[in-house]
Structure 1
Amino acid sequence: MRLDREQAGALLGLIRGRRVAVLGDVMLDEYLFGEVSRISPEAPVPIVRVSRERAVLGGAANVAANLKAVGAEPVLVGTLQDDAAGRRLRGLLAGLGITQDRLVVDPTRPTIIKTRVIGQQQQMLRIDREETDPFSAAAVDGLCRSLEAALEGVGALIISDYAKGSVNAPVMDRVRLLCARLDIPWIVDPKPSHAPLYRGATLMTPNTKELTELSHLPAKGDADVAAAGLAMVEALELKGLLVTRSEKGMALFTPEALHREPWLIPTEAREVFDVSGAGDTVIAVFAAAIASGADWKQSAMLANAAAGVVVGKMGTATATPEEILRHYQDQEAI
């Protein structure tokens, strides 16, 4: 079973305009591109002569960007500071037409910045500027109030956890309460250290490394993934699980199959250039499809195709409906 181009087009049409909330760690991703021609006389490290730079939305903000790119309407919930990075981040959100009404200004925490140095088309260094101490009571309260307002009229909630503090116990208690009351599916891109916070989620989207860390079981072959996935579903009382497996595609655990036999989806990628941000694309497209009324298998197949587009790009990226449909056209031509 595989979506064809016509089916994918119909599903992308249903996604257009669907509201999806995103709760998580909002970041600014910076890229410095340059040439390397010599080693520093000060230390045995390469000198990168920067020729250009680029800033894009990162973390939960990149999930919102992926939702917008595919035609959905994201409602972003997270924190930032009114600093240079925060203002730059707001400018990028405004440029994409992403609402900022539910962002919480936290004066105690600088806006998170991840700077990647690229020399000769290879990442040579990443510099992280962040504060990871627990959130203040005022910031937690602000997030909870913002979340409640953000869930009005949405078809799904994405939890984009980068373990920077936005996803914490009080906030997740509010997620469970509100999503149960409003009957909203909530889908988690997890961090293994936060596993207890995800109990009762509708679905999680770990990669195989994260699945191994979450379940404490190997997740290399199909049988391993099936066993580890079942253990994860039972331990956290999940309704389902979507495991991303790089070149092996995906494995989807659904309630209909009692989670015992995952549905295996082969990869859609023809050329892998950069996998950074691909998980954001998967969860964004899957959630948008769920919000539009698609079933889990259809949603997973469309997310798989979108990821196949994104890994062929350099750096944090998104996939548009046109690119996804062109991808289907290219695949059908093989």
Structure 2
Amino acid sequence: MRLDRPQAESLLRRMEGCKVAVLGDVMLDEYLFGEVSRISPEAPVPIVRVVREQAVLGGAANVAANLKALGAEPLLMGTLQKDAAGDRLLGLLGRLGISISGLVLDPSRPTIIKTRVIGQQQQMLRIDREESGPPEAAVLMGLKDRLERALGEASALIVSDYAKGTVNEPVMEMVRDLCAARNLPWIVDPKPAHKTLYRGATLMTPNTKETTELTQRAAKSDAEVAEAGRSLMAELGLKGLLVTRSERGMALFAPDGAHTATPWMVPTEAREVFDVSGAGDTVIAAFSAAVAAGADWREAAMLANAAAGLVVAKVGTATVTPAELLAHYHEQEAN
């Protein structure tokens, strides 16, 4: 089962302008693109001659970029420092028209940077510059203030956790209380080390590896995914689960009679895979924006699946637009 073009067009129209809050670790993703023609005489490593550089939004900021590209209105919350990387990050957000009012300055830690070295269209190395850990008291208070304001406007909340410190127990206690009081869905892209922080979430979007780590169970076959998913939902009191399975598509556990215990298997729509960086950000953005616009979970999962299939065909952290999605559905109809 797939969305047809009129269904997709209607859903994308309803998503336009929907406010979706995003809480998580904000990062700058740098890409150094180069050519490789020889091995270094100093060590057995390739020499990359850099010919082009690119900086894009990463982490929770990339989720916000994906929401914006889809036509939704992201309310981004996180921390950064007023350093060179922070200034570049603010500039990128400004160019996309994403509000920075939910960001909190943290002078104690540098803005997170992930630098990827790409040679001959292959990622060869990643360099991370970060200091993880819980934020100081003043920064924590700032995050709570931004969270309360954002959830007064939003139709859904995304928690984009990279285990760098923004997502922590005091903040998540507030998320649970505010979302319960306002009947807001909150959807988590998890880090297994933070499993207990996600108790009571509306839905989580782990990949196969994360599902295995979260449950200590194999999660490769359909039967294994079903068993691991049921276990995780019961343990954390989740309403639903969307397991992304790379070339096997997705498995959706939804709070209806048919798909609570036995997931609905969504086949992949990816035809070419160049780079999976940020694909999880695209999935959670598309799914959450669709839910915020009133879509049922199966419609949201189908849209997210199509968006993921398009974004993995692009090199680097990328986004998908409504025009690209509609072209995809038009092509499906033609075939």
* TM-score normalised according to structure 1 size: 0.99
Q: How far did 1:333 drift?
A: 2.8
Equivalent residue, structure 2, for 1:276: 277
Equivalent residue, structure 2, for 1:316: 317
The separation in 1 between residues aligned to 2:325 and 2:141, in whole angstroms, is 39
Written as runs of structure 1 = structure 2, the 5 A alignment for 1:57-76 is 57-76=57-76
Equivalent residue, structure 2, for 1:287: 288
The separation in 2 between residues aligned to 1:24 and 1:15, in whole angstroms, is 22
The separation in 2 between residues aligned to 1:21 and 1:115, in whole angstroms, is 27
Segments of 4+ in structure 1 off by > 6 A? none
Equivalent residue, structure 1, for 2:226: 226
Equivalent residue, structure 1, for 2:202: 202
Written as runs of structure 1 = structure 2, the 5 A alignment for 1:128-277 is 128-257=128-257, 259-277=260-278
The separation in 2 between residues aligned to 1:308 and 1:15, in whole angstroms, is 20
Q: How far did 1:44 drift?
A: 1.3
Greater Cα offset, 117-126 or 39-48: 39-48
Equivalent residue, structure 1, for 2:2: 2
Q: Quote the sequence identity (%).
A: 72
Structure 1: state its 5+ residue gaps. Answer: none
Q: How far did 1:329 drift?
A: 1.8
The separation in 2 between residues aligned to 1:256 and 1:83, in whole angstroms, is 48
What's the secondary structure of 2:256's corresponding residue? helix
The separation in 1 between residues aligned to 2:39 and 2:208, in whole angstroms, is 37
Q: How far did 1:134 drift?
A: 2.5
Q: How far did 1:36 drift?
A: 0.8
The separation in 2 between residues aligned to 1:235 and 1:251, in whole angstroms, is 18
Amino acid in the other structure paired with 1:184: L
What's the secondary structure of 1:31's corresponding residue? strand
The separation in 2 between residues aligned to 1:333 and 1:108, in whole angstroms, is 55
What's the secondary structure of 2:140's corresponding residue? helix
Equivalent residue, structure 2, for 1:36: 36
Greater Cα offset, 324-333 or 207-216: 324-333
The separation in 2 between residues aligned to 1:52 and 1:156, in whole angstroms, is 38
Equivalent residue, structure 2, for 1:83: 83
Equivalent residue, structure 2, for 1:300: 301
Structure 2: state its 5+ residue gaps. Answer: none
Q: How far did 1:272 drift?
A: 1.2
Q: How far did 1:137 drift?
A: 1.4
Amino acid in the other structure paired with 2:225: V
Deviations 1:126-154 (A, max 9, x none): 00000013221111111111111111221
Equivalent residue, structure 2, for 1:328: 329
What's the secondary structure of 1:30's corresponding residue? strand
Equivalent residue, structure 2, for 1:97: 97
What's the secondary structure of 1:255's corresponding residue? coil
Amino acid in the other structure paired with 2:25: D
* TM-score normalised according to structure 2 size: 0.98
Written as runs of structure 1 = structure 2, the 5 A alignment for 1:97-116 is 97-116=97-116
Equivalent pairs, count: 334
The separation in 2 between residues aligned to 1:152 and 1:19, in whole angstroms, is 10
Deviations 1:95-118 (A, max 9, x none): 000000010000001000000000
Amino acid in the other structure paired with 2:311: V
